[in-house]
Amino acid sequence: MLVALLWAGAAGATAPDAAHDRAALRATYAARFPGLVLDDHALGVYAIDADLRAQWEELNEFPPYAFAIDEGRELFDTALPDGSMLVDCLPDGGIGTAHTYPRIDRARGEAVTLPLLVNECRVRHGAAVWDPDRGPMMALLAYLADTSRGRRLDVPLPATPEAQAVYARGRALFHIRRGQRNFACFDCHVTAVGRHLREQPLMPVLGALTHYPVYGLRWGAMGSLHARFAGCFEQVGAAALPAQSPEYRALEYFLGVMGDGLPFIAPGLHR
């Protein structure tokens, strides 16, 4: 784990080297899971547990998220109150773009996500904001993700000052200890990756963006990556941040850069 420790030790750097970070994380996982190839990490926890993977493959023969894709297609094709359509409102039309988010908006100096842009589009054209973590938004995102399925995550290394700043913010959030248990994302998903917590293996994070939104069997519904962030915060005894906060979007961007190039398999399925 020497590579991981060196990577963690550089967390306070004023100008982090994203290429070095990504190489270090991938090398750490390669050493920890020598039987995996890089693309396997798109499966998340199912890449590192053979029994869970067998269950996952069986469930995906008749995926329980299929209903959400159909519902999302209908929502995408439904006109907004002023007659506008989402295809005319979203960057690049929204179709076949889910694998390219989050993107850096240089004017805002922030990472932007599809749910953020969908809600901004809805407001501009007279519709109410959707909850970004559940309900219609999850169905729409399942459909849009399905239109990118089979492509590869496209969140390249930060190439502008704005992107560098967002990357540094997300990287710091990944490393900062928080809550009553004083844990960081790094502690669970790098230092202790693959170990079991409450009978569940701690998953690698390279593929975190490749399979969200996910259908959660224990929820009986689709769920978002930011809801997973909030759940992690709460599990370590820290207050969760608002969904689609700049901090969560920066963390999502950081994870996207780490996983750039992995197969995009969303929508996904979690136990």
Q: Which residues are catalytic?
A: 232
Which tokens is 35 given?
A: 């039987």
- Which amino acid is present at 160? T
Element (H, E) at 104: strand 103-105
Alpha carbon distance 197, 234 (integer Å): 15
Element (H, E) at 225: helix 225-235
Instruction: State whether the Cα torsion 219-225-230-236 is positive or negative.
Output: positive
Element (H, E) at 32: helix 18-32
DSSP 3-state of 47 = helix
Instruction: Give 25's contacts (C-beta < 8 A, 6+ positions apart).
Output: 4, 7, 190, 206, 258
Name the residue among 158, 85, 97, 153 with its Cα closest to residue 122.
85
